A = this chain, B = another copy of it.
């Protein structure tokens, strides 16, 4: 009987594109600096080899923690890249994931930089190892499409946020302005935001109402034929 282990096989890796937002109004990407060749010293996406009998998302989550100490993100599969020449060591297939993190939570860890990991602004990325530049481009395209149809944008914000923060987020990711009144009308009409009994603090102007994303209500609503769409 022919056994599949009789054949030579490509190596299988996972890579993670983690996006984040901060007060600078730029979209950021989490990168690590490579310690080993190939591309030693260059910046790259966190990722690595899939272990025997390890699921893909599990591998992505493990590598992300090992290399950047970031955990608890919601990972979505992006695409799989298998050009035979994409890794100088030999035929390597990589399954790419993307995720959104809020820099408010991860700010300190990224700043610590203990593992040569840090956030880079999308606009000024260094040259990346392998085909990671391409992967990041694909990830941002997918993010732009998905954020308009699914309420994933909230992952980029702290749990409690203001409508203005939410609007900025969409403006940054989609790189286009929104009308304040129309934006608020639309979002509030969707009825998936919980209006909290709290306001912003420590701001040198009128304090804004804080909101929270109502995941439960969204799930219900979605089942009964309902579209996010922004």
CB pair B80 A55 closer than 8 Å? no
Tell me the complex Cα distance, A83–B4, Å. Answer: 17
Question: Is A89's CB within 8 Å of the partner chain B?
Answer: yes
Chain B residues closer than 8 Å to A36, beta-carbon distance: 2
Tell me the complex Cα distance, A77–B54, Å. Answer: 22
Chain A residues 34-87 with CB under 8 Å of chain B are 36-37, 49-50, 52-56, 77, 79-80, 82-84, 87
Chain A interface residue number, banded? 20 to 34
CB pair B37 A55 closer than 8 Å? no
CB pair B82 A55 closer than 8 Å? yes
CB pair B83 A95 closer than 8 Å? no
Chain B residues closer than 8 Å to A83, beta-carbon distance: 55
CB pair B95 A54 closer than 8 Å? no
Tell me the complex Cα distance, A92–B87, Å. Answer: 21
CB pair A4 B93 closer than 8 Å? no
Question: Is A180's CB within 8 Å of the partner chain B?
Answer: no
CB within 8 Å for A84 and B5 given contacts A79-B77, A93-B12, A93-B95: no
Chain A residues 202-221 with CB under 8 Å of chain B are none
In-complex Cβ contact of A56 among B1, B49, B53, B93 (8 A): B93
Question: Is A177's CB within 8 Å of the partner chain B?
Answer: no
Mask, A1-20, CB within 8 Å of B = 1, is 11111011111100000000
Chain A residues 182-200 with CB under 8 Å of chain B are none
CB pair A92 B4 closer than 8 Å? yes
Tell me the complex Cα distance, A56–B84, Å. Answer: 9
Chain A residues 141-198 with CB under 8 Å of chain B are none
CB pair B11 A84 closer than 8 Å? no
CB pair A82 B95 closer than 8 Å? yes
Chain B residues closer than 8 Å to A89, beta-carbon distance: 3-4
Tell me the complex Cα distance, A1–B37, Å. Answer: 9
A/B interface sample: 12 pairs, CB < 8 A: A3-B89, A4-B87, A4-B89, A9-B9, A9-B52, A50-B93, A52-B91, A55-B82, A56-B93, A77-B79, A80-B80, A93-B93
